[in-house]
Structure formats: structure tokens, C-alpha cells
């Protein structure tokens, strides 16, 4: 290819989404990926795109809401360009409600009517009326929101890569010299390298383990209970995740904590009893010290930028964040929200 305007280091969801947006704006783009598309946490199993609770509204929650509204159009465009289905579907989410939490859940339903602007609902319903996968709920009540969605992380990565190539972008696997403006989207290793470069803690990695069961519920909403995601996919599998491990010896090894996830999921959703385990997965997610994604110019390094730290919300936030990052890299327009830049660290 001719000299690229932009080189993106890393072919996870952040790097690929930014590449797509830059290409759509007419830039020449190459991605350099050391291993493979989705080699890090973007190659996991779960794919839950879910909002924060509708209360104590802030810039992060508002931006996530915008990103979830953008998601259908974004992933439809990705599928049309690539010919690959990313597994996206906005099917909602069901959560069991504890006995003492019913009043709070109803208060949040009232706030959602305003904050979600009529785009989606947050309702408290009898558990017997919850759609599809039955679950155990101590109060007999459940929350059903219609904003949450799912996608298949690996297929989404392949679809994004196909869309990038369809628009003339180049993806280089292996070592290559970056040219043009350089954006670093290299996962937890990138945050660790950035911390070392700047001489202060910027972020690091949090390991997560998950597993995949063979159980067909392709049109069912995801379940969320006690920090556990249960996400049905269109291919006849159900993903369960995940752990959050700050200390770990093996970044990609599963252990008894994965077994515990399985046991908890069966207790929450007895319909999964007897479903065979298809795969167990472990990987390390990049977490900036601020807990928000980290975006902006690399301090002291001209024409280098950082786009990292998706942690648990990378797939949900990527459509919106890629637009903001492209504004900065291609146009010099800094729309990075408070709390997402280096000033928050």
C-alpha cells in the first residue's frame, strides 16, 4: 500500500473499530497485530453489551448509552461490508431481584423513563413473566431491560477485520514498522508498557475466565445475577462469565474458578443442567487505573496516541469511542470526555 496516514497497533475491538471509522473518513490505514485478530481479551466468549444502572447519571453512563444506541447501525454496517455475521442482537437482559432490592429496582425504572429517552425500557416484572430462560429469583421479581444486546466476540472481530479490508485497510500480522500517526491499542501489555514509559501507574490487566455450553436459546435475552453473565448466542451456545482476578500466574489458563462459574450459572438458571461444556477460556482484560477507557495523545511522544483499557465494556463502547478517537487523530478535535483522558490518572 502507499504510505498510511494512520497505523493502529493491535487488532482487538478498539483497534479494528477505529480503523473502520478512519477508513470511512478517507484515511489510509494499516493495522499491525503481533499475533492474530482478537488475540487478547477481544477473542473471548461472552459478548454482553449491557448498560450501567439508570441512576447517578454521568459522562461515562451517557456515552455508553449513546454507544448502545449506535450499535445496531454500526454492526449492520460491519456485516454488510464484510459478509460476516458478528452475532449482534438487541434482545435485552433479565436480572433477578433480591427481596430488599425491589423498591430500588422500581425507582430505577422511573429514572430510566427519563434517562433512556424512550429508546429502551427498564421494567420490574414478576419472574414468571420473564422471557425465555427461566431463572431462580428470591423475591419472585425480575428486572427486564430492552437496551442490552449481545454479540459473538470472535465473529465480531473477524467481521470487523473483513470490513477493514473491504475498505482498503491493511492488516499486518507480525512485526512491522509503524508509519504515519500511530495509535496504540495493545491491551493490558500496552498499559503496562505505558506505565513503565511514563514512570507512573496507568493501568494493567485483570484476568477473566469464562466457559461456553451447548444449549440452544438463540432468541433469549441474557441473564445477569450476582456479577455473573449468562449470554445465549445464535449458534446454539450459551456463554458464562466471568471472573475478575488481579493476581494470576497463568494469563490464559483455566482452573477451579471456572468450575465455580459453571456451578453458579446452573444454580441461577437450572435449564442449563446437563448442557455440555464446549470450551473453557481465560484471558487478561486491559483496565486503566481510572476504570474508564483511556484515550488521548501519548504524553511527550509526538503523533502517538493511546486507545486502550476497554476492560468489561470494550465491545459496548467501541462504536462511539472510535468516532471520538478519529476526531482527535484525523482532525485534531479533542472531544474526549472527562475521566477518559490522561488527566484522570
Candidates 48, 47, 163; CA nearest to 94 is 48
Q: Residue 27: inside a domain, yes or no?
A: yes
Q: Residue 58: inside a domain, yes or no?
A: yes
Q: What pLDDT was estimated at residue 194?
A: 96
User: For the chain, how many structural domains are there in total?
Assistant: 1
> What's the rounded Cα separation, in Å, for the pair 105 and 89?
25
Q: Residue 325: inside a domain, yes or no?
A: yes
Q: Residue 87, Cβ neighbours under 10 Å: how many?
A: 20
Q: What pLDDT was estimated at residue 193?
A: 95
Q: What pLDDT was estimated at residue 2?
A: 78
Q: Residue 234: inside a domain, yes or no?
A: no
Locate 182 and state its grid cell: 500511530
Q: Which residues of the chain are modeled with pLDDT < 70?
A: 1
- pLDDT digits over 236-265, tens only? 999 999 999 999 999 999 999 999 999 999
Q: Residue 59: inside a domain, yes or no?
A: yes
> What's the rounded Cα separation, in Å, for the pair 75 and 80?
9
Candidates 93, 105, 108; CA nearest to 49 is 93
CB proximity list for 300: less than 8 A, separation 6 or greater: none
Q: Residue 251: inside a domain, yes or no?
A: no
Q: Residue 224: inside a domain, yes or no?
A: no
Q: Residue 339: inside a domain, yes or no?
A: yes
Q: What pLDDT was estimated at residue 1?
A: 59
Say if residues 233 and 48 touch (Cβ distance below 8 Å).
no
> What's the rounded Cα separation, in Å, for the pair 48 and 313?
8
- pLDDT digits over 122-151, tens only? 999 999 999 888 899 989 999 999 999 999
Domain containing 67: what range? 6-89+151-203+289-344
CATH of the domain at 38: 3.50.50.60
Q: What pLDDT was estimated at residue 97?
A: 95
Locate 319 and state its grid cell: 462504536
Task: Say which DSSP state 246 is in.
Answer: S
Amino acid at each position: 500500500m502507499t504510505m498510511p496516514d494512520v497505523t493502529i497497533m493491535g487488532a482487538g475491538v478498539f483497534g479494528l473499530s477505529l480503523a473502520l471509522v478512519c477508513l470511512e473518513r478517507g484515511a489510509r490505514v494499516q493495522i499491525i497485530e503481533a499475533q492474530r485478530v482478537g488475540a487478547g481479551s477481544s477473542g473471548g466468549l461472552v459478548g454482553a453489551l449491557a448498560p450501567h444502572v439508570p441512576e447517578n447519571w454521568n459522562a461515562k453512563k451517557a456515552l455508553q448509552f449513546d454507544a448502545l444506541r449506535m450499535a445496531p447501525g454500526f454492526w449492520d454496517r460491519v456485516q454488510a461490508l464484510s459478509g460476516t455475521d458478528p452475532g449482534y442482537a438487541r434482545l435485552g437482559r433479565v436480572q433477578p431481584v433480591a427481596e430488599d432490592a425491589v423498591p430500588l429496582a422500581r425507582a430505577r425504572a422511573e429514572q430510566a423513563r427519563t434517562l433512556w429517552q424512550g429508546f429502551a425500557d427498564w421494567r420490574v416484572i414478576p419472574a414468571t413473566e420473564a422471557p425465555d430462560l427461566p431463572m431462580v429469583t428470591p423475591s419472585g421479581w425480575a428486572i427486564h431491560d430492552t437496551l442490552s444486546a449481545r454479540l459473538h466476540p470472535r465473529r465480531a472481530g473477524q467481521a470487523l477485520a473483513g470490513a477493514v479490508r473491504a475498505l482498503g485497510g491493511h492488516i499486518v500480522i507480525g512485526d512491522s514498522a509503524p508509519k504515519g500517526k500511530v495509535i496504540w491499542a495493545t491491551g493490558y501489555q500496552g498499559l503496562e508498557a505505558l506505565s513503565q514509559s511514563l514512570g507512573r501507574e496507568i493501568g494493567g490487566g485483570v484476568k477473566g475466565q469464562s466457559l461456553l455450553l451447548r444449549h440452544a436459546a438463540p432468541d433469549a435475552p441474557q441473564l445477569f445475577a450476582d456479577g455473573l453473565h449468562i449470554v445465549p448466542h445464535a449458534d446454539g451456545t450459551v456463554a458464562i462469565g466471568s471472573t475478575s482476578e488481579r493476581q494470576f500466574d497463568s494469563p490464559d489458563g483455566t482452573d477451579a474458578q471456572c468450575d465455580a462459574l459453571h456451578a453458579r450459572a446452573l444454580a441461577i438458571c437450572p435449564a442449563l443442567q446437563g448442557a455440555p461444556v464446549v470450551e473453557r477460556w481465560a484471558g487478561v482484560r486491559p483496565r486503566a487505573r481510572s476504570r474508564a477507557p483511556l484515550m488521548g495523545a501519548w504524553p511527550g511522544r509526538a503523533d502517538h496516541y493511546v486507545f486502550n483499557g476497554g476492560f468489561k465494556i470494550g465491545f459496548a463502547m467501541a462504536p462511539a469511542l472510535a468516532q471520538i478517537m478519529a476526531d482527535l487523530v484525523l482532525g485534531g478535535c479533542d472531544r474526549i470526555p472527562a475521566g477518559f483522558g490522561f488527566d484522570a490518572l
